[in-house]
Amino acid sequence: MSFEAAAQTAGLLPQAGKQAIEHKYRNCVELSHGIQFTHSIDVDAHFQATEPNANRWDYGVGLRQGATHFAIWIEPHGATSSSEVDKVVAKVSWLKTKLRLDPWTQLSGLTEATKQRGVQQFWWLVPGTVSFRPGSKEDKKLAQSGMKMPTKKIVIR
């Protein structure tokens, strides 16, 4: 299943490559070892009108290596205080709820394929400084939600 078809089944508008990701963040996502971008979606923009007060996740990105398709999820968000961790954890919880819905089954499968490859599924992309450290209570809270510490650059291998 391609990311494009899975996104369309979920009622989302896929764009070629990284085009759905805000321009200032596109160069923060790199691929290696023959992995290619297929399509991306701006999840936040899609749900802004229908769920204006929700803690919405920002982007989904489809990737392919050979015939294998998989997906990662990216949330650009500041990390200047520990309270930001709660916001990002709420956002990933919101996304995981979506991934359990019937129309999102194929996107969920692509996300699971990412995990099976040993690749991180949910990424916190931070444009500035991070006010907490690995091993901190914030790091542990992120780990409980299936995430790792925020990063300035995402490299998928």
Please tell me the predicted confidence (pLDDT) of residue 140: 96
Rounded to an integer, the average pLDDT of 55-66 is: 97
Please tell me the predicted confidence (pLDDT) of residue 133: 93
pLDDT at 156 over 90: yes
Instruction: DSSP letter for 76, please.
Output: E
Alpha helix stretches (DSSP H) within the chain: 3-9, 23-26, 43-47, 83-99, 105-116, 137-144
Angle made by CA atoms 41, 43, 47, in degrees to the nearest 5: 140
pLDDT at 116 over 90: yes
73-99: pLDDT as tens digits: 999 999 999 899 999 999 999 999 999
Please tell me the predicted confidence (pLDDT) of residue 94: 98
Please tell me the predicted confidence (pLDDT) of residue 53: 97
- Hey, what long-range contacts does 112-119 have (CB within 8 A, 24 or more apart)? 113/68, 113/69, 113/70, 113/71, 114/63, 114/70, 114/71, 114/72, 117/68, 117/70, 119/70, 119/72, 119/156, 119/157
Please tell me the predicted confidence (pLDDT) of residue 125: 98
Rounded to an integer, the average pLDDT of 20-28 is: 97
pTM value? 0.96
| Domain residue extents for the chain | 3-156
Residue with tokens 């996300």: 111
User: CA neighbours within 13 Å on the CB side: how many for 59?
Assistant: 23
pLDDT at 63 over 90: yes
pLDDT band at 41 (very low <50, low <70, confident <90, very high): very high
Please tell me the predicted confidence (pLDDT) of residue 127: 87
